[in-house]
Amino acid sequence: MNCVLEGNSIKAFGKAIHALSRVGDELWLDPTVKGLALRSVNSAHSAYACFLFSPLFFQQYNLDSVREQDSGPIKCKLVMKCVLPLFRCSTSIEHSVKRCQISVSTGSDQVIVQFFCRHGITKTYNVRFLESEALQAVFASHLCPNVLKSPARLLGDMVMHFHASQEEVTLSMSAPKVSLRNYNEGRNDHMKMMHTEMSLHPDEFDYFQAGMDSDITFCLKELRGLLCFAESHCLPVSVHFGTPGKPVCFSVEDMVLEATVVLATLADFESRGPSQPTETPAPTTHSCADAAALPVGIHETQSNNLQVLPDVTELVESSQGSPITYPPVLMQLQCQGDSACAGMTPPSSMICSLLFEAMSSESGDDDDAPRLPVLAYFSDEEDYPRSPSL
């Protein structure tokens, strides 16, 4: 693989790496026909981020011819600590770097990053990579009952009210408003913790769909990188979420790139003590078994979510057609059919894991929809935009 970046793209690329560095310690570089995908996941597998740069983003973009035994281009995993310093100082990059060339050398297992700078200086960095299976998370964002699309600065402004040390926040949808508050686990010193809350009116959003009332709690740290990126590019941020326990997806998109962050959310509210008086009574249990028996009033897609999960062995469309890696904890969430969820983690579990399937927003085209067995009929296609478009 060989690609060349010029001008502002270099800065954008660097910012993407910054955002990814907030998520995980390793960077997956995945050159595909659709573009170069940069991905990262955190150690707990509760946060995943992906930046997909289409070939148009680059001055030049060439995929090498196939290697002997493998079916396609390289999948490589880099240590973030090695890559981040290259793009650390965005102001100096802006001033001095004219061109950046990134190539993957299979023979020596290296990614070669060359900066062609002013005054004839060329900086070459060889970063060793580990060959690895593709990392790809799949999230059926078009099935999410709640969708928000916020202008670039809105989420950033909101998040600014929370201190950098605040780890988790709760986003509550209860039509007709959305509120955001900090989440403090029941700790001994909870009496001393500050409590921050704000609410947003639907008018502030470019798109507001409140399919169901829900409170999701997720970690803010991994999100800040994406919000920073969105703000610097003035891109609106889309948020797709559903019931607590299901992942929440934040994405930004423009003509040449797509970025997504998928975060796990806390599954259980019952463990919260009386010290959280502002807690709105959330739907209590969300085990698969219960969901299957949800009253008619709840949105149809609710039950769909659980049954649309693919077979473990199904090769969902990933760039290389390689099997997806499923961390062990996720296996439990794979519900097969109605008798589903014997293996489901009990409601009291505090950890929620990601579903690893093909990202619907990444795949981008409609071919993917038939791959996932849709067992229920969408009453109204227009209500569920597959991915936010500008």
Q: Which of residues 149-188 bind another protein (CB under 8 A)?
A: 151, 160-161, 163
| Pick 199 or 284: Cβ nearer another protein | 199
Residue 94 contacts by C-beta under 8 Å, 6 or more apart in sequence?
11
Tell me how far apart the 2 most distant CA atoms of the chain are, in Å.
70
Two structure tokens written together for 201: 């009116």
- What residues from 67 to 106 belong to the interface with another protein (CB under 8 A)? none
**Cβ atoms of residues 113 and 99 within 8 Å:** no
**Among the listed residues 56, 121, 193, 350, the single contact to another protein using CB under 8 A:** 193
Q: Is 200 in the site for another protein (CB under 8 A)?
A: yes
DSSP string of 279-334, one letter each residue: ---------HHHHHT--TTS-HHHHHHHH-PPPTT-----TT-PPPP--HHHHTT-
Q: Does 271 bind another protein (CB under 8 A)?
A: no
Record the tokens describing residue 365, joined without a space.
Answer: 């085209």
- Please report how close the Cβ of residue 208 comes to another protein at its closest, in angstroms: 11
CA distances from 334 to 140, 301, 302 (A): 14, 17, 15
Residue 280 makes contact with another protein by CB under 8 A: no
Q: Is 192 in the site for another protein (CB under 8 A)?
A: yes
60 binds another protein (CB under 8 A): no
Stretch that binds another protein, among 110-118, 231-239, 275-283, 311-319 (CB under 8 A): 275-283
Q: Among 277, 281, 295, 328, which residue sits at the site for another protein (rule: CB under 8 A)?
A: 277
* Contact of 265 with 218, CB cutoff 8 Å: yes
275 is a site residue for another protein (CB under 8 A): yes
Give 32 or 184: the residue with its C-beta nearer to another protein: 184
Smallest gap from residue 276 Cβ to another protein (A) = 8
Determine the straight-line distance between the first and last CA of the chain, rounded to whole angstroms. Answer: 30
Q: CB nearer to another protein: give 88 or 163.
A: 163
For residue 203, state whether it binds another protein (rule: CB under 8 A). Answer: yes
* The one segment of 124-132, 201-209, 296-304, 351-359 that binds another protein by CB under 8 A: 201-209
- Rounded CA-CA distance 179/172 in Å is 5
Helix axes 152-160, 221-233, angle to 10 degrees: 140
Q: How far is the CB of 382 from another protein (least distance, A)?
A: 24
**Whole-number Å distance between alpha carbons of 319 and 235:** 26
Pick 191 or 293: Cβ nearer another protein? 191
| Sequence-distant (≥ 6) Cβ neighbours of residue 168 within 8 angstroms | 182, 183, 185, 217, 218, 219, 220, 266
Stretch that binds another protein, among 69-77, 200-208, 244-252, 298-306 (CB under 8 A): 200-208
Q: Is 198 in the site for another protein (CB under 8 A)?
A: yes
Tokens of 5: 């970046």
Shortest CB 210 distance to another protein, Å: 16
What DSSP element (H or E) covers 82?
Answer: helix 80-83
Residues 295-324 that bind another protein (CB under 8 A): none
Residue closer to another protein by CB (options 65, 188) is 188
| Interface residue list for another protein (CB under 8 A) | 151, 160-161, 163, 190-201, 203-204, 274-278
